[in-house]
Amino acid sequence: MVSNPRLNRLLQRKEIKELVDVPLPKGSRIYLVGGYIRDFLLRRKSHDIDLAIEGDFDQIFSRFKKRISGKVVNYATFQTGTIVTDRLRLDFARTRKESYPTPGALPKVVPADIYEDLRRRDFTINAMAVRLKPPPLTFIDPYNGYQDLKRGWIRILHEESFRDDPTRIFRAYRYARRFSFAIEPETKSLIKRDLHFITRLTPERIINELDLIAEEKEWYRIIRDLKNISIYRLIADRPLIRRGRGVTERKLFLHAHLKLNILENGPITVSQLKSAKEIKRVERIVAELKRIKKRSACYRTLSRLEPTTIEMIKELYPELKTKIRQFKRDVLLKPLITGSDLLNLGLKPSPLFRRILDRIRVLQVDRKIRSKKEAMQLIGQWISS
Ligand code: CTP
């Protein structure tokens, strides 16, 4: 047990105060666990609260139900329950121990104490708890999660972690990008060792992980990280779409693409994944970009894309990086001439304006002309011929 000076600030949070105020049967213990504490210590907002309960689950959960107004979902057989209020989601679970009958399978669960409960978790930064009741607030951090949080490490708790639950491989990269953390070297080498356990996961569990990734701000970097560890060859031929055909790297690419361009709000659904027209468009553009050499041709092609799509292509196709870098520089080039220069030449506004400006821009991007004077001379020649 460690004392943490920031801990008392938890009680200044309305939602935590409310939880602490619920009267509970004698001998019961309530802990905050997982992401909420991690986010609190990182000074990040979190609307999901995970609570672990040591004691008679049904009795304790019904006390919370009475005191906290919200929609209740109670899966009593699993000794878990959820209350959704207008601001928060509260997940309650009996402290438990898990065992994995075979790699990748869902675990067998039996009641246990908080230490066992933390031991079954994925990463040290998710394996911290704060005892809310009985008082005083107590920080429980058997795996030094707080230290890892400070040094920015994603670290598993034991050697068999990825074998027990291969979805943790996806999760490691997701958290690493979300918090700009590093995957601790030993953990990284265990990912390599145990990567093949990914093939034991059901398609639903993989889809779930991809959907979670698609909700992340840095999703395309995560998609690229997973590509770099060659995960896709393990899942590409599997039926990863609930209905219809299997997912290939191309669809994963699109999974990502759709997230940015179609779906600003919310997770990707199967029907959106099937937006074949959009897949084809981006694929065509990527193929074209690989082929073309002329700087102005790349400029024109890339101008047709959203900035976010360009970022994604840059991450997923390293061979196009130089062209994209050039494009970004070219976009910033100040136009050598404008419409008013043409008016000054005595030209009347017409569609010809656009054509002239475009032609000048192409020459400028290809570094064939560099000054306004050169541009004006050329236009003079075009007009007189
Ligand atoms: N967990 C785990 N292994 C998994 C999934 C979850 O050990 N494969 C544990 C972690 O301790 C995690 C907690 O269950 O903190 C809750 O899971 P989840 O809601 O997925 O994660 P959060 O920590 O709440 O993080 P996020 O912000 O991504 O929701």
User: How far apart are the CA of 50 and the centre of ligand 1, in A?
Assistant: 9
Compute how many other C-beta atoms are within 10 angstroms of the C-beta atom of residue 107: 14
Do 29 and 137 lie in one domain? The reply is: yes
Residues 178 and 34 in one domain: no
Q: Which domain holds residue 68?
A: 1-151
**Which among 31, 46, 50 is the best mutation to test ligand 1's pocket, defined by most ligand atoms within 8 Å of the CB?**
50
Q: Which atom of ligand 1 is nearest to the CA of 118?
A: 11
Q: Take atom 22 of ligand 1 and give the residue whose Cα is closest.
A: 35
Q: Which of 126, 151, 176 is the last residue of a domain?
A: 151
Total domains present in the chain: 4
Does ligand 1 lie within 6 Å of residue 330's CB atom? no
Number of Cβ within 10 Å of residue 337's Cβ equals 19
- CA 215 to centroid of ligand 1, rounded, Å: 15
What number does the ligand 1 atom closest to the CA of 171 have? 8
Residue nearest to atom 29 of ligand 1 (CA): 35
My answer on whether 84 and 9 are in the same domain is yes
Strand partners, 52: 31, 93
Cβ–Cβ < 8 Å for 309, 282: yes
User: Do the bridges between strand 153-154 and strand 96-99 make them parallel or antiparallel, or are there none, so unpaired?
Assistant: unpaired
Distances in Å between the Cα of 187 and the Cα atoms of 105, 123, 124, 192, 201 are: 21, 10, 11, 9, 20
CA angle 15, 21, 26 (to 5 degrees): 135
Q: What is the largest CA-CA distance in the chain?
A: 97
User: pLDDT truncated to tens, each residue of the chain (385 aa)?
Assistant: 445 667 889 989 999 999 999 999 999 999 999 999 999 999 999 999 999 999 999 999 999 999 999 999 877 678 999 999 999 999 999 999 988 888 888 888 899 999 999 999 999 999 999 999 999 999 999 999 999 999 999 999 999 999 999 999 999 999 999 999 999 999 999 999 999 999 999 877 887 787 788 778 887 788 778 878 888 777 755 544 433 344 444 455 555 555 444 443 444 444 444 455 666 677 788 889 999 999 999 999 999 887 777 877 887 788 899 999 999 999 999 999 999 999 998 888 889 999 999 999 999 999 999 999 999 999 999 988 7
Phi-psi region of 31 (alpha: psi -120 to 50; beta: other; left: phi over 0): beta
Instruction: State the burial class of residue 5 (Cβ atoms within 10 Å of its Cβ: 0-12, 13-18, 19+).
Output: exposed
Interatomic CA distance for residues 364 and 160, integer angstroms: 59
Same domain, 161 and 135: no
Write the DSSP symbol of residue 181: -
Q: Are 289 and 305 within one domain?
A: yes
Pocket test for ligand 1, best of 121, 202, 216 (most atoms within 8 A of CB): 121
Classify the phi-psi angles of 306: left when phi > 0, otherwise alpha if psi is within -120 to 50, otherwise beta. beta
Residue 34 CA: nearest ligand 1 atom is 15
Choosing from 188, 219, 240, the residue where a domain stops is 240
Q: How many CB atoms lie within 10 A of CB 21?
A: 8
Residue 265 belongs to some domain of the structure:
no
